[in-house]
Amino acid sequence: MADSAPLFLTPDSPLLGHYHAGLVRASGIRYARAARFQPPVDEPAHPDLRPATAPGPACPQVPDPALQEALGPALAGRIFDEDCLRLTVTAPPNYQTGPARPVLVWIHGGSYVSGAGDLAFYDPAPLVREQELVVVAVSYRLGMLGFLGHQHAPANLGLLDLLSALRWVQRNIAAFGGDAGCVTLLGHSSGGDAAAHLMLTEGATKLFRRVILHSAPLGLAPGRARMTRAMAAAVTPLLPDAPLAQVLAAQPRAEQAARWSGLKAGMPFGVQYGAFPLPPEAEANATWQSVAAQFDVLIGTTADELRFFAVIAPRLRRLLTLPRPAPALLQALITAGSRRIYVGPAAVFARRHARAGGRAYLFTVPYHPPGSDFGGAHTIDLPLLFGSAAAWAPVPLLGEAAWPEVEAAGRPVRQFWADFARTGQLPTVVHLPGILEVQKA
């Protein structure tokens, strides 16, 4: 490996990257700019050398102490700034040689209100090192800044940010050894929901070819219009030049205004049908069907999705410690809610896609780390794909699992996911007991 830092001569601008864990990386690349409550503007080409050696800022967000119950201090030490439309590219050290490599674009979850694309436990080093992929991790606007249309802001701004990032990939990824014609979106939770809805946007077939949807809460997508109107009314007026603290302080008011809406209140922020770039809700299914033949889909869930939220909610967590029948009743509610929000809609999505002429696979991750109260809960699939021992060590989600065991369990999952990114195909049935089940829809 050369001693000098890697230089990526992208069409947009030359970028000075860095080495990380034996791989090459360009971090914190600006892909667009956006004024508050305005659509993004793609970053123009620039002849000057730009450093890409440190993570970009995360979108400002309202802290959620409950998330630390499962994920630890994931955002500790991060800089938060509205100028957050950045991405990070990780590539093999031999990226300049051989054929162009498949590209995975990572869209992080967090209920559309939290997170960032390049957090340590999302480090794609295992995928890149083992599978010779190029991975792009995207940060985008969240919450009040990205996913609530109101009097002074259009809806779906965060979705427009992601489209801008995908255009950047098309223009520039060849400079990292990536194949712009072989792009797969990999989205988790709200990121999976976003990836599914990006399929509905005009020109999507020119931006990506495949989608991998982990734990997408598609059961919460329909019938949100009345709820979002109530949320917007609760924060009006909210002017574009208001102090950032005032904007963030309005978010709990918006969430409170959604409380009456049942399960949807668990993810009150989200994409909105009928607002650019999405079609009206009544046309969504027909649009997914019309584009099915042009996309390959791999969609699935963990075995016990909602247990994640039961464990981090103090009142529900206490029920797990009581004598029967309280834990059994709570588990029944967890199972029913998981089916309604995640499992059932994933199966419907896959089967509709297959009937409409697309290739679709349906997966389940039953992985259950020893000594973990979370079991096979929401997000337990992520350490099978991403991160390192150091990144996952402070994360309670993994219980008593030793990292070498987690890494070994994830190795075949990473292989299958990379195979899908390369070809769009998997075996008709995959059976890895206790880790992964896949079947063709």
Per-residue pLDDT of the chain (441 residues; tens, 9 = 90+): 445 899 999 999 999 999 998 999 999 999 999 999 999 999 999 999 999 999 999 999 998 887 777 787 888 889 999 999 999 999 999 999 999 999 999 999 999 999 999 999 999 999 999 999 999 999 999 999 999 998 889 999 999 999 999 999 999 999 999 999 999 999 999 999 999 999 999 999 999 999 999 999 999 999 999 999 999 999 988 999 999 999 999 999 999 999 999 899 999 999 999 999 999 999 999 999 999 999 999 999 999 999 998 888 766 666 666 666 666 778 888 999 999 999 999 999 999 999 999 999 999 999 999 998 898 999 999 999 999 999 998 888 899 999 999 999 999 999 999 999 999 999 999 999 999 999 999
d(C-alpha 303, C-alpha 370), whole Å: 15
Give the CATH superfamily of 7-440.
Alpha/Beta hydrolase fold, catalytic domain (3.40.50.1820)
Exposed (0-12), middle (13-18) or buried (19+): which is 314, by Cβ within 10 Å? exposed
d(C-alpha 127, C-alpha 104), whole Å: 10
Report, as residue numbers or ranges, the catalytic residues.
Answer: 189, 305, 378
Q: Are 424 and 373 in contact (CB under 8 A)?
A: no
pLDDT of residue 317: 65
pLDDT of residue 318: 65
- The residues, ordered by sequence, that sit 6+ positions from 49 with a Cβ below 8 Å of its Cβ are 13, 14, 15, 16
> Locate tokens 């450093």: which residue?
51
* Distance (Å) of CA 73 to CA 69, 70, 209: 9, 9, 35
Cβ count near 403 (within 10 Å): 16
Q: Are 123 and 95 in contact (CB under 8 A)?
A: no
CA atoms within 13 A on the CB side of 245: 0
> Which strands make up the sheet holding 14-16, listed edge to edge?
7-9, 14-16, 50-51
> Which strands make up the sheet holding 296-302, listed edge to edge?
18-20, 23-30, 86-91, 134-138, 101-107, 178-188, 210-214, 296-302, 359-365, 436-440, 429-432
pLDDT of residue 98: 92
One-letter amino acid at 350 equals A
d(C-alpha 408, C-alpha 7), whole Å: 33
d(C-alpha 381, C-alpha 215), whole Å: 9
Exposed (0-12), middle (13-18) or buried (19+): which is 333, by Cβ within 10 Å? middle
pLDDT of residue 76: 82
pLDDT of residue 150: 86
> Locate tokens 């993810």: which residue?
267
pLDDT of residue 324: 65
pLDDT of residue 61: 96
CA 422 to chain centroid? 20
Question: For the chain, what are the domain ranges?
Answer: 7-440
> Locate tokens 């709820």: which residue?
227
The DSSP line for 18-38 is EEETTEEEEEEEE-EE--TTS
CA atoms within 13 A on the CB side of 272: 24
d(C-alpha 109, C-alpha 215), whole Å: 9
> Locate tokens 């609760």: which residue?
234
pLDDT of residue 202: 95
